Amino acid sequence: MMDISGTTVLVTGANGGLGRNFVEQALARGASRVYATARRPRQWEDARVEPLALDVTDEASVAAAVVAAPDVDIVINNAGVGGASSLLASSVEDVERVFATNVFGALRVAKAFAPVLASRGGGALVDVHSVLSWLAIAGGYSASKAALWSLTNSLRVELAPQGTLVVGAHLGYTDTPMIADVDAEKNDPAEVVASIWDAVAADEDEALADQVSRDVRAALSGPVRSLYAQLLAN
């Protein structure tokens, strides 16, 4: 069981709805320090929070973050962007932009901080996926989350020898600025983040943060067409 109390946490994309909750709940669970990172970091009232500029798509920015945060025990790979919701209607450049943050940005952070986690006894890496990792209804965005899911599985194997827990977190629509315009029932981001922290504390490999994620995960063993009403109608 991982004891979050006394740890140092780094959160990417800390300005957003999930990111803010990751920071606040880490502190509530006893973290001694949280690096709250973003391209343009905000200021925080709690002295235990250290704002840190980080662009996950920039190699030099990530390298600078490692120097500035050499005492990290838990990395939350939360930074992400939307877009390219249709592969055919989007340019390849738009799809590449989504992958640059959601896939290669997350990988860049994981690779850079892996030695730091090793030096701290292993720690944990949390990659924030989506139910859309398994459900291809959002074009390039879904593809990016599916790629991140695969990367997380590979990182779990490669980081196991150094004792690093790798958690893949899946969630459906959640009430964050990224999907403010989506007209659908949405999860409370505080509840989603709490379930992810619970998974970390329990040394679980996956956090299925809502019922839709649990249902889709269970359906993966069935026929592909069973996941897509669009295909069943043809």
The pLDDT, as a whole number, for residue 208 is 97
Told to judge if 141 belongs to the known catalytic residues of this protein, a careful annotator would answer: yes
Length of the chain as a residue count: 234
Half-sphere exposure of 193 (CA within 13 A, CB side): 24
How far is Cα 33 from Cα 19, in angstroms, rounded to an integer?
Answer: 15
35, 141, 173, 228: the active-site residue: 141
How far is Cα 74 from Cα 33, in angstroms, rounded to an integer?
Answer: 11
1 belongs to a structural domain: no
Query: What single letter denotes the amino acid at residue 202?
Result: A
106 belongs to a structural domain: yes
State the DSSP string of 50-99.
EEEE--TT-HHHHHHHHHH-TT-SEEEE---------TTTS-HHHHHHHH
The pLDDT, as a whole number, for residue 116 is 98
Q: Over its length of 234 residues, how does the chain's per-residue pLDDT go in tens digits? A: 789 999 999 999 999 889 999 999 999 999 999 999 999 999 999 999 999 999 999 999 999 999 999 999 999 999 999 999 999 999 999 999 999 999 999 999 999 999 999 999 999 999 999 999 999 999 999 999 999 999 999 999 999 999 999 999 999 866 666 666 766 677 699 999 999 999 999 999 999 999 999 999 999 999 999 898 888 766
Domain extent for 112: 8-232
The pLDDT, as a whole number, for residue 16 is 87
177 belongs to a structural domain: yes
How far is Cα 62 from Cα 136, in angstroms, rounded to an integer?
Answer: 30
Q: How far is CA 207 from CA 96, 126, 150, 213, 214, in A?
A: 27, 10, 15, 9, 9
Total domains present in the chain: 1
Report the candidate in 222, 228, 210 with the shortest Cα–Cα distance to residue 138: 228
Estimate the crossing angle of helix 106-119 against helix 59-68, to 10 degrees. 20
How far is Cα 25 from Cα 191, in angstroms, rounded to an integer?
Answer: 10
How far is Cα 75 from Cα 82, in angstroms, rounded to an integer?
Answer: 21
Query: What secondary structure letter does DSSP report for 223?
Result: -
3 belongs to a structural domain: no
2 belongs to a structural domain: no
Domain of residue 187, CATH code: 3.40.50.720
Coil vs helix vs strand at 36: strand
80 belongs to a structural domain: yes
Q: Bridge-partner residues for 50, per DSSP?
A: 35
101 belongs to a structural domain: yes
Q: pTM here?
A: 0.94
Phi then psi dihedrals of residue 27, to 5 deg? -65, -40
